[in-house]
Structure 1
């Protein structure tokens, strides 16, 4: 389970449900709402790009601009998707996923999306406090929205959806495959240990 950078842990997370289901809760560096994510039940990706790529585009329009290739991939799979401002990807059946951004001081930006492939709705309502009484006056709240996963909408395997997304991205942008190096992984693990995996970071908004 992932909560947004500016969200209150107490408002978003049900500690009893998290403990009962053995859920790990982390806080990302970008804003937006909480996402219930389980291995194999979601499709998530990140774009690391220069902010100059969206020069002249409004903050709101930059979301749809950076995810235009995803809309094309979903269309290829027979899904007519659209953006619901500010940052939701949806169809007429409901929300598929959401995007978030973080603009960095070095001129770079992170744009990432999580889409629901399948969902254990019963478990989700036990670990998320969306729509429940506010316990803290800190942070931004997640909105209660109807989610309609890609598995139900397409009937396709998760790997087939990912393959279609990779194909469209490669066709549009001439992407080439690469691998994260051992050195990069070591840096990432150190950052988890020193900051992003700490209780101080997780509970920075009470």
Structure 2
């Protein structure tokens, strides 16, 4: 297998109605498997969230990351994804999330840092066009002079790589600190005001609606790499629904640390 480049692939866009947190986790697994098997072209999937969530990385400890009482009090579902990285606090109107399911050849012979930087370059370009001085910060952050904007995670499965990014469009810092333990520990001696500075949302930096930011991102990807509108197949949806129920909604998976 030789390395390939963006323009050599027939990129598809999947941007559909809102899904539950567990369904999003399942769709990442299913679509990555489909790209790996060659049954689906490389895909950019822009997520819409049906409900709030905390998404923890594959290798994180649920107990260390999440305050269960805080999550229950705010009606926030906790799910575990198949990629690594840190915990993400999600509220539907405040979050922009996307994943790229690509052939492994796109990142062949690249270090993990190089792979993250490659996969984030297009969105940094899109943000620049919106007036945001965004940059890649190793290993898995997109940041600006005003603060962190996004966190990324990757997983390599078979012949495919999954690159998953969650961006802060807006954020309820007080609620986040009631739900995430790690953020609380990092900020315990600095107060909530400092928490807002650690993550600087795109709403304040652009003045645009969430939908307008997403539209610019999609336009930039389309212009840079080519992108055709697509939809999930019935088989993909059926398989994801099964995984969401039997795996990603279960306490056994959410609490599991390999």
SS where residue 87 of structure 2 aligns? coil
What pairs up with 1:1-206 in 2 under 5 angstroms? 1-104=54-157, 106-131=158-183, 146-205=198-257
RMSD, aligned α-carbons: 1.5
Structure 1 runs (4+) deviating above 3 angstroms are none
TM-score (norm. length: structure 2): 0.73
Answer whether contact 2:120 2:136 (CA < 8 A) is retained.
no
* Cα distance in 2 for residues equivalent to 1:91 and 1:131: 19
* Cα distance in 2 for residues equivalent to 1:158 and 1:132: 27
TM-score (norm. length: structure 1): 0.91
CA-CA distance at 1:169 after TM superposition:
0.5
Structure 1 spans left out of the alignment, 5+ residues? 134-143
* Cα distance in 1 for residues equivalent to 2:160 and 2:233: 21
Q: 1:150 to 1:125 in 2, by over 3 A?
A: same
* Cα distance in 2 for residues equivalent to 1:132 and 1:107: 38
* Cα distance in 1 for residues equivalent to 2:231 and 2:104: 24
More helix by share: 2
Q: 1:16 to 1:181 in 2, by over 3 A?
A: same
CA-CA distance at 1:132 after TM superposition:
5.2
* Cα distance in 1 for residues equivalent to 2:166 and 2:203: 14
Partner of 1:139: none
* Cα distance in 1 for residues equivalent to 2:61 and 2:122: 33
CA-CA distance at 1:131 after TM superposition:
4.8
Partner of 1:138: none
